[in-house]
Structure 1
Amino acid sequence: MSENTPRPGSPVRGSRSGKPIMALFDLLGRSWALGVLWQLSESALTFRQLQERCESVSPTVLNKRLKELRASGLISHDGTGYCLTALGKELFELLKPFGAWSVKWSSAL
């Protein structure tokens, strides 16, 4: 894993012990990490396609997130573009209900 990639068992933001859930929250809490996962949920995308879909993300930040997500085993590059791994797809299925919930939350506000 990259030196700065959150890793279970190592200190991360919010946890000196690096509990797995805290390492995951640290990774997903980084700018554009969730956006990249969300965009890759339907199909593989090239760097340029991801950059377009993530609107205001800088190439530097996108490159950093892609490296971290790859090092974490959530995405890979299949030769045509970036895609979710089996672990990444499993995580996305757990996150997907938040999309529907956020619409209800938005209406409630």
Structure 2
Amino acid sequence: MRKRTSTNFENEQFLEFNCPFITTLRFIGKRWKPAVLWKIDNGFVRFNQLKKELPYISDKMLSDTVAELEADGVIQKKVFDEIPLRVEYSMTEFGKGLLPVLEEMNKWGEQMIKKIKL
């Protein structure tokens, strides 16, 4: 964490609140966030389902990623009072606003993968 008085901190704050691209990346910019959001999409998904869909993500990274997305208000977690404990994740209305962005990123990425494989 940067000191609040540092120039880097001030630069980050300026960009985050004045540059729409940086603001968007704040919510989806880490490696696994777009993939997790793409898997959650509009449904309810359990942790183990996400783990099966994203086999290369570690449990800790998945836990950290869903915690960050939840803290940012992009997804919500519903805990069921059952034994064994059941938890489901879903997109919030705020998070659903990111779906068109993710869809366009996915389209562009598919095109690039095709070009790279040629």
TM-score for the superposition, normalised by structure 2:
0.70
Match of 2:88 in 1: 81
- Provide the aligned C-alpha RMSD in A: 2.4
Q: What SS does structure 1 have at the residue aligned with 2:57?
A: coil
Alpha-carbon displacement from aligned partner over 1:21-49 (angstroms, at most 9, x marks no partner): 42541442223111110100142111111
Runs of 4 or more above 6 Å deviation = none
Alpha-carbon displacement from aligned partner over 1:81-109 (angstroms, at most 9, x marks no partner): 10111111110122202222222222233
Match of 1:7 in 2: none
Structure 1 range deviating more: 90-99 or 69-78? 90-99
Give the fraction of aligned pairs with identical amino acids, expressed as a percent: 22
Runs of at least 5 residues in structure 1 that lack an aligned partner in the other structure = 4-10
Q: Cα distance, 1:16 vs. partner? A: 4.4
Match of 1:55 in 2: 55
Q: Within 5 Å, give how 1:35-74 maps onto structure 2.
A: 35-74=35-74
Runs of at least 5 residues in structure 2 that lack an aligned partner in the other structure = 2-8, 80-86
Name the larger-Rg structure. 2
* Structure with higher strand content: 2
Q: Within 5 Å, give how 1:13-28 maps onto structure 2.
A: 15-17=12-14, 19-20=16-17, 21=20, 22-28=22-28
Structure 1 range deviating more: 71-80 or 44-53? 71-80
CA distance 1:82–1:100, change in 2 (3 Å):
same
Q: Cα distance, 1:63 vs. partner? A: 0.7
